[in-house]
Amino acid sequence: MEITSWLLDVYPLHDRMILWVRTDKGGLTFQPVLGMHESVAEIDFSSMYPTVMVRHNISAETILCPCCPVSKVPEAGYNICEKREGLVPRTLRPILERRKIFKSRMKNSQGAEKELYSRRQTALKWLLVVCFGYLGYRNARFGRIEAHEAVTAYGREKLLRAKEISEAHGFRVLHALTDALWITKAGMTRPQVLDLCAAIERDTAAPIELEGIYKWVVFLPSKVKKNFPVANRYFGAFEDGKLKARGLAFRRDDTPPLVKEAQQKMLNLLSTCGNSREYRERTLEVREVLQGYLTRLHTGDLKKEELLVAKSVRQKGSEYKVDNLTALALRQLEDAGIEIHPGEKVHYLIKDSGAKNKEERIRAFPLLSADGFYDEEKYRDLLLNAAEEVIGKSGSDFMDTPKRTP
Ligand SMILES: [Zn+2]
């Protein structure tokens, strides 16, 4: 339950820094308490925004209607029609109900049947997500910015209520983000959390579910400002050993496969740990994994494809104003007669990231040369950073050879 002190060396705790911020998407964030926490429950509102639209009758034609003047929407004070159900709620209601049924069947089935219902409920989940996206989209036929604002205002209110109710039930809120809360309390049990979910649902009229209880979870600081909490960088292991991670290197598209694989191996090792003590003990094995990859990098015991960086292309090579590595790769491919369209990806090998001649910095795939040369130091940094994300910064003992100074 307590924040483990060794991780605090790495991720110092601020004076219970409480920051409620409205993100650009309109969701509410309660900045996480950095470091490792044991026995933490994550509870999530299920399809929060579509639920809000249906529950509060939010639609382009119901918001600010001329017939029902009562101010309703929190913060904004907009009125909403009470006489007619809007087109959007009327459309979403059956999808929400169907998803609820699929989810319950998923929970009560096994094997192939479980998988079937899991896929069906996930398909509906994304359908509901894009409905919200479109609600605020100016050019959408059913879009209206005030409707979008009303949804996020109700969303913030519900998350805030959930936090207050959790605290009233003796829980400590470690982190909250848009529609999810991470909570803990001494001797926490699953039935207590389920009781809390029922209480929140009664109060907010929005279903909230137990996503799972983590054996341990780590909230990571910002990559740029090392002592600063950020909303969406964390990883943890549930009681059944399943991992959940956000904002880590292995989840990023532009992380080379070798680095992704290394970090996933490290996390798999750690996922079996029951608590912070075991976690700490296992960091030795994590360092061995790291060492193995550093050795492979140094001796060249790998395929070059494992080192490719993937980047999405937004425009044509000639349209890039800055000579970044993506633009370089794109132009190398264009010179070779290979056309890459915006929306597609380029893959490149980092040859010498500090080279004065920009052309020598990278080589686009599949135009790799046979010389076998790559920027070992750059890839080493990527591996070290990936390890640091999961076991903290432990200084030079990670490395087999001293780092070259530029
Ligand atoms: Zn009305």
Backbone angles phi, psi at 25, to 5 degrees: -90, 0
State residue 142's pLDDT score.
73
| 144 CA to centre of ligand 1 in angstroms | 16
Q: How far is the CA of 63 from the centre of ligand 1 (A)?
A: 8
Centre of ligand 1 from the C-alpha of residue 61, in Å? 9
- Token pair, residue 275, equals 């608590």
pLDDT of 400 reads 30
* Tokens 């029609």 belong to residue: 81
Structure tokens at 71: 């101010």
CA–chain centroid gap for 100, Å, is 24
pLDDT value at residue 354: 86
Q: How far is the CA of 224 from the centre of ligand 1 (A)?
A: 49
Q: What is the Å distance from ligand 1's center to 80 Cα?
A: 6
Q: What pLDDT was estimated at residue 266?
A: 95
CA of 73 relative to ligand 1 center, distance in Å:
14
Res 317: pLDDT:
72
Position 160, amino acid: L
Sorted by sequence, the CB contacts under 8 Å of residue 74 that are 6+ apart come out as 153, 154, 156, 157
What tens-digit pLDDT sequence spans the chain (406 residues)? 334 444 444 333 433 333 444 444 578 888 898 888 999 999 999 999 999 999 999 999 999 999 999 999 988 899 999 999 999 999 999 999 999 999 999 999 999 999 999 999 999 999 888 888 778 776 777 778 889 889 999 999 999 999 999 999 999 999 999 999 999 999 999 999 999 999 999 999 999 999 999 999 999 888 877 777 788 899 999 999 999 999 999 999 899 999 999 999 999 999 999 988 898 889 899 999 999 999 999 999 999 899 999 999 888 777 777 778 888 899 899 888 898 888 899 999 999 888 888 888 999 988 887 777 899 999 999 999 999 999 887 533 323 333 333 3
Q: What is the CATH number of domain 309-364?
A: 1.10.132.60
User: What's the token pair of residue 364?
Assistant: 């686009």
Q: Which CA distances in Å does 383 have to 35, 218, 252, 348, 389?
A: 21, 19, 14, 17, 10
CATH superfamily of 5-246: B family DNA polymerase, palm domain (3.90.1600.10)
Ligand 1 centre and the CA of 66: distance in Å? 6
Q: How far is the CA of 94 from the centre of ligand 1 (A)?
A: 23
User: What are the residue ranges spanned by the domains of the chain?
Assistant: 5-246, 249-303+377-398, 309-364
Q: How far apart are CA 269 and CA 272, in angstroms?
A: 6
How far is ligand 1, taken at its centre, from the CA of residue 333, in Å? 58
Q: Which helix (H) or strand (E) holds 158?
A: helix 145-168
Overall residue count recorded for the chain in this entry: 406
Residues 6+ positions from 116 with CB-CB distance below 8 Å: none
- Distances, alpha carbon 41 to alpha carbons 60, 155, 229, 251, 383, in Å: 37, 20, 19, 23, 31
Q: What is the pLDDT of residue 25?
A: 56
Q: Which helix (H) or strand (E) holds 211?
A: strand 208-221
DSSP state letter for 243 = E
